[in-house]
Structure 1
């Protein structure tokens, strides 16, 4: 595409209502001077200087626009994501650059479901991730990992609510039973909740029509199953174990949201995914979590 064409693509996606012409993010004025030597603009109304990425998730970017587009294309190509190490090698950038950029992109794509609510048939389940306890060498020293006291404090559960034919909403919590309140806040009244035999899901039968499947007896019975949400968990396990190998509990929610985005857009072609993510990055506000992350300026 070239640097000039890539820059024009970012302008078109940032300001689609004006055909790519700059709009001041401070006062909203549509008239500005172009500072071509620095690819910046100066507002004629308030004299504020800004660029196409000012105030967005890509604020203070250092990479060229062709590199940013290449990074986004790589990001959406992986069916189960791509590790920051592989990302840095392919893009020929530092690991720190790749790690922060990936997390910023995950933060942008997660904005799609910020205000989403589910309806119709909604499957709910949980998947425990991380916190694996290494077994002791001698058999007599090995602990029963089924007991809560013998589990790692880094263990988390990803609770997912998936609307059949709709979106997937993942949340990271310490206990699967916390999904009851999540369902009450995110699922529309009159919807049907499909869950497994876990006792904490019994509470949802007071608020929704409920269908249950006992996995100790069958995975599907007369059309009642949780196969769609289990499909999401299968992709998440392969993403964490096969691509990233280790995911901190602190950032697990971002990988869960990234996996949900991939699962929900699995039939979308790569080009459309790339422009969808660029559009999301241009609409997302400046990151408070990863701004100047490596300078210890995170909030």
Structure 2
């Protein structure tokens, strides 16, 4: 079951057509078919009717959905599995309105479902491994354009790098490794990225993030923003001066930040074309979603699907999402 690749939503619907098939798949992924109590890992477990289990130590009942994104859901698992497939395969994501139509559920339910899924995307952004080789650092801003606002809603001095009405996101991209074989460039490993939403783009916000994810003495490329000043003490730091219309160092063509700019482009098209707006409260979840898809883009669809399911033991309650 794990090795089967899903090339369409029809194949997912066929493979996981019933609640029981989905439950069996989750039990194999979570427990390797040997139930483990979410209350006491070492406790003996008794199998009960209706896919339920009982923890001997605590005396509590549980299912494979307990403590996961599927905990206490009233939406059947086949729809959850189709939602996950759609989210990880749509390059720019999918809106709650569209997902609600596709699954024939309310927009409110689809919104809650999407945020439960996004809470599990954070696993890829939270991995502790550090970047090396050639890395690019940059920041981008997400929010409405002032020129599109009604006259009484315009924000003064909000152009450029201002974050009065926008949320800044800092990112670091590690370029993939390649090799020339028989005259052709062959990618040995893909590029990877890590991103975090921050309150501002000051040195105090940018540099701790970079230092936590990039190995010392790594080649680091950024633009001329003053928040990157001083990084030459830790890295082989190169600057591409965008203010002077410089986008590549012609003496050394590898010195550019075009790779991470391409990643921002995907996120911008998602923001403008699919969602239209991300709240400051939830923006990190949307960022995590894009990081997950970008970093795992070279995996087979079924491997990405199972990777998310295997790390989906994160429960997000509706009250948590809507609390001020």
Same fold (TM over 0.5): yes
- Note the alpha carbon deviations across 1:79-135, whole angstroms, 9 max, x for none: 111011111111111212111111121111212332423223221001111043246
User: Equivalent of 2:63, from 51, 70, 82?
Assistant: 51
Cα RMSD (Å) of the superposition? 2.6
Q: Which residue of 2 aligns with 1:205?
A: 232
Equivalent-residue separation in structure 2 for 1:147 and 1:106 (angstroms): 29
Q: Which residue of 1 aligns with 2:302?
A: 271
Q: Which residue of 1 aligns with 2:98?
A: 86
> Does the CA contact (< 8 Å) of 2:94 and 2:274 recur in 1?
yes
> Does the CA contact (< 8 Å) of 1:21 and 1:30 recur in 2?
no
> Does the CA contact (< 8 Å) of 1:158 and 1:171 recur in 2?
yes
Query: TM-score, with normalisation over the residues of structure 2?
Result: 0.79
Q: How does 1:231-250 map onto structure 2 within 5 Å? A: 231-250=262-281
Equivalent-residue separation in structure 2 for 1:209 and 1:152 (angstroms): 29
Change (3 A) 1:126 1:30: same
Q: Which residue of 1 aligns with 2:125?
A: 113
Is it true that 1:98 corresponds to 2:126 in the alignment? Answer: no
Is it true that 1:21 corresponds to 2:21 in the alignment? Answer: no
Q: Which residue of 2 aligns with 1:220?
A: 248
Unaligned runs of 5+ in 1: none
Q: Which residue of 1 aligns with 2:26?
A: 10
Kindly tell me the number of residue pairs found equivalent between the two proteins: 285
Change (3 A) 1:122 1:137: closer
- Note the alpha carbon deviations across 1:37-88, whole angstroms, 9 max, x for none: 3x21112444221110112233212222212211111111211110111111
> Does the CA contact (< 8 Å) of 1:132 and 1:152 recur in 2?
no
Query: TM-score, with normalisation over the residues of structure 1?
Result: 0.86
Equivalent-residue separation in structure 1 for 2:221 and 2:78 (angstroms): 45
- Note the alpha carbon deviations across 1:164-219, whole angstroms, 9 max, x for none: 12531111123223212211232222222111122331221122111121233332
- How many Å apart are 1:234 and its aligned residue? 0.6
Q: Which residue of 2 aligns with 1:124?
A: 137
> Does the CA contact (< 8 Å) of 2:218 and 2:236 recur in 1?
yes
> Does the CA contact (< 8 Å) of 2:125 and 2:195 recur in 1?
no
Q: How does 1:271-290 map onto structure 2 within 5 Å? A: 271-282=302-313, 284=314, 286-287=315-316, 290=317
Unaligned runs of 5+ in 2: 1-14, 177-190
